Amino acid sequence: MNKDELITKLKPIYPDFEIEQKLPLIEEINKLKKEKKAVLLGHNYMTPDVFWGVSDIKGDSLYLSKMAAETDGEIILFNGVHFMAETAKILSPEKKVLIADLKAGCSLAESITRQDVIDLKKKYPGAPVVTYVNCSAEVKAETDICCTSANAVQIVNSLKEDVVIFLPDEYLASNVQKHTTKKLITHPGRCMVHELYTAEDIKSTRKLFDDLVVISHPECNSDVVDASDFAGSTSEMQSFIQKSNSKNIMLITECSMGDNLRSEFPEKEFVSSCQTCPHMKRISLEKIRDALLYEQYEILLDKEIIEKGKNAVRRMIEVSYKK
Ligand code: 13P
Ligand code: SF4
């Protein structure tokens, strides 16, 4: 993207003086990227300066996992949270994988340990374990197949067993349960951002706009998803908006997603307030510059964890992208 295109993308979000302040840093990062042969992956929840300014490959968790396995840079810098960078390391163990802030965690990933999964496997022998990618590499190592919000129903229904251990998001599980005859064994994990939304928010906003389209993330509780017109992963939300004729959109997800869509679809109105993920917001241009400059903070994983985790993530990619 050239400088003028970038300014057009940033203008709906930042005042002119802030864009002027950001441009030299964005230029410095893009120069460092070339020198270090680094590829920057950027999740849809990154702030617009990080998302549009410096991320080479942008998307939802599923797409970024696939691209982490395919990218040809010597360094992968993951603009997202820790579990995403670990997934990139699992898929590209020969590469140096960095994250700009090691504290960029996730309430879902923190809700479950490897031992919790081992205990559940003992309790439900023979039941395959599906884990949402929002979990640690250690948890992935105990997993049969991973999933994301884009493919969770497809992954569960691809299994032959009737009872499936589905971890760690209880709300995603309840939304998947409506689309499968299999019995899901769940765990009480929640996304600290999406659990804050209620169906009441939707009802009151609908009263204000005739043509309102409500789009939610499946990490919301099932009342919210049921009250929405569409629920899907962050990239599925983007595709839905692209096809929709409605002007007024209520987006039930993290704030930066709305900002990035506002830049992409300036003709649409994104109504209502949003919730911020404090983990995603730890990633800033300044920290990205330092991460490239000092090649920090490197994701290091045991060989055993990589080998076991790789099976679960690769299996997910195979099922999702099979022709
Ligand atoms: P997706 O991009 O897969 O929808 O993930 C949402 C999320 O919460 C990532 O932290
Ligand atoms: Fe985790 Fe929710 Fe933040 Fe995504 S938005 S990183 S699921 S806490």
Give which of 164, 166, 202, 172 is closest to 190, Cα–Cα: 172
User: Probe ligand 2: pick from 192, 217, 257, max atoms within 8 Å of CB?
Assistant: 192
Cis peptide before 168 (omega within 30 of 0): yes
Cβ(150)–Cβ(62) below 8 Å: yes
CATH of 3-105+280-294, one of 3.40.50.10800, 3.40.50.170, 2.40.50.140, 3.40.50.150: 3.40.50.10800
pLDDT value, residue 322: 81
Rounded Cα gap, residues 159 and 171, in angstroms: 20
Residue nearest atom 8 in ligand 2 by C-alpha distance: 106
Q: Which residues pair with 249 in a beta bridge?
A: 213, 270
Q: Which residues surround ligand 2 with Cβ inside 6 Å?
A: 81, 106-108, 134, 191-193, 219, 254, 277, 279-280
pLDDT value, residue 273: 84
E strands along the chain, which residues? 38-43, 57-59, 75-79, 96-98, 129-132, 145-147, 163-167, 183-185, 213-216, 230-231, 248-252, 269-271
The CATH number of the domain covering residues in 109-190: 3.40.50.10800
Residue 106 CA: nearest ligand 2 atom is 1
Give which of 128, 122, 184, 125 is closest to 153, Cα–Cα: 184
Ligand closest to 218 (CA) is 1
Ligand closest to 234 (CA) is 1
Rounded Cα gap, residues 278 and 21, in angstroms: 23
pLDDT value, residue 272: 81
Rounded Cα gap, residues 269 and 14, in angstroms: 17
Cβ(151)–Cβ(137) below 8 Å: no
State if residue 87 touches ligand 1 by the CB under 6 angstroms criterion.
no
For residue 213, report the distance from its CA to the centre of ligand 2, in Å: 23
pLDDT value, residue 4: 96
State if residue 222 touches ligand 1 by the CB under 6 angstroms criterion.
no
Query: Is 109-190 in the same CATH topology as 3-105+280-294?
Result: yes
State if residue 60 touches ligand 1 by the CB under 6 angstroms criterion.
yes
Q: How many CB atoms are located within 10 Å of the residue 138 CB?
A: 19
**Averaged pLDDT, groups of 10, the chain, 323 residues long:** 96 97 98 97 98 97 91 95 97 96 98 98 98 98 97 98 98 98 98 97 95 97 98 97 96 97 96 94 98 98 97 95 78
pLDDT tens readout for residues 297-319: 999 999 999 999 999 999 999 99
Give which of 139, 12, 81, 9 is closest to 26, Cα–Cα: 9
Residue 232 CA: nearest ligand 1 atom is 4
pLDDT value, residue 303: 97
State if residue 149 touches ligand 1 by the CB under 6 angstroms criterion.
yes
State if residue 320 touches ligand 1 by the CB under 6 angstroms criterion.
no
For residue 167, report the distance from its CA to the centre of ligand 1, in Å: 15
For residue 192, report the distance from its CA to the centre of ligand 2, in Å: 7
pLDDT value, residue 323: 66
Tell me which DSSP letter residue 275 carries. B
State if residue 234 touches ligand 1 by the CB under 6 angstroms criterion.
yes
pTM confidence score = 0.96
Q: At what angle do helices 255-264 and 234-243 cross, to 10 degrees?
A: 30
Exposed, middle or buried by CB within 10 Å (0-12, 13-18, 19+), for 70? exposed
For residue 17, report the distance from its CA to the centre of ligand 1, in Å: 31
Query: What are the residue ranges spanned by the domains of the chain?
Result: 3-105+280-294, 109-190, 194-270
User: Probe ligand 1: pick from 45, 57, 67, 260, max atoms within 8 Å of CB?
Assistant: 45
The CATH number of the domain covering residues in 194-270: 3.40.50.10800
